[in-house]
Copies of this chain bind each other. A is one copy, B any other.
Amino acid sequence: MTITPPELSVFESLESEVRSYCRGWPAVFDRAQGSWLHDEDGHAYLDFFSGAGALNYGHNNPVLKRALLDYLERDGITHGLDMSTTAKRRFLTSFQDVVLRPRELDYKVMFPGPTGTNAVEAALKLARKVKGREAIVSFTNAFHGMSLGALAVTGNAFKRAGAGIPLVHGTPMPFDHYLDDQTPDFLWFERLLEDQGSGLNRPAAVIVETIQGEGGINVARPQWLRQLAELCERRDMLLIVDDIQMGCGRTGPFFSFEEAGITPDIVTLSKSIGGYGMPMSLTLFKPELDIWEPGEHNGTFRGNNPAFVTATAALDTYWADGQMEKQTLARGDQVESAMRDILREHRDTKADFRGRGLVWGLEFADKSRAAKVCARAFELGLLLETSGPQSEVVKLLPALTIGPDELDEGLRITARAVRETA
| Contact A168 to B169, CB < 8 A, known contacts A84-B6, A96-B14, A148-B148 | yes
In the complex, residue of chain B having the shortest beta-carbon distance to the beta carbon of A62: B75
A138 to B171, CA, bound (A): 13
Q: How far is the CB of A374 from chain B (nearest CB, A)?
A: 14
| Chain B positions within 8 Å of A109 at CB level | 14-16
Are the C-beta atoms of B81 and A10 separated by less than 8 Å?
A: no
A151 to B390, CA, bound (A): 32
Q: How far is the CB of A17 from chain B (nearest CB, A)?
A: 5
A86 to B93, CA, bound (A): 37
B-facing residues in A361-382 (Cβ within 8 Å): none
Q: How far is the CB of A161 from chain B (nearest CB, A)?
A: 8
| Chain B positions within 8 Å of A170 at CB level | 199
Cβ 8 A contact of A108, one of B16, B117, B178: B16
Q: How far is the CB of A18 from chain B (nearest CB, A)?
A: 4
B-facing residues in A155-169 (Cβ within 8 Å): 155-169
Are the C-beta atoms of B33 and A157 separated by less than 8 Å?
A: no
Are the C-beta atoms of A198 and B293 separated by less than 8 Å?
A: no
Give the A interface residue count (CB, 8 A).
Answer: 155
Q: Is A150 positioned at the interface, with any CB of B under 8 Å from its CB? A: yes
Are the C-beta atoms of B85 and A30 separated by less than 8 Å?
A: yes
Interface string of A303-314 (1 = CB under 8 A from B): 010100000000
| Chain B positions within 8 Å of A60 at CB level | 72, 75, 78
B-facing residues in A244-271 (Cβ within 8 Å): 270-271
Are the C-beta atoms of B115 and A299 separated by less than 8 Å?
A: yes
Are the C-beta atoms of B197 and A16 separated by less than 8 Å?
A: no
| Chain B positions within 8 Å of A202 at CB level | 157
A152 to B111, CA, bound (A): 21
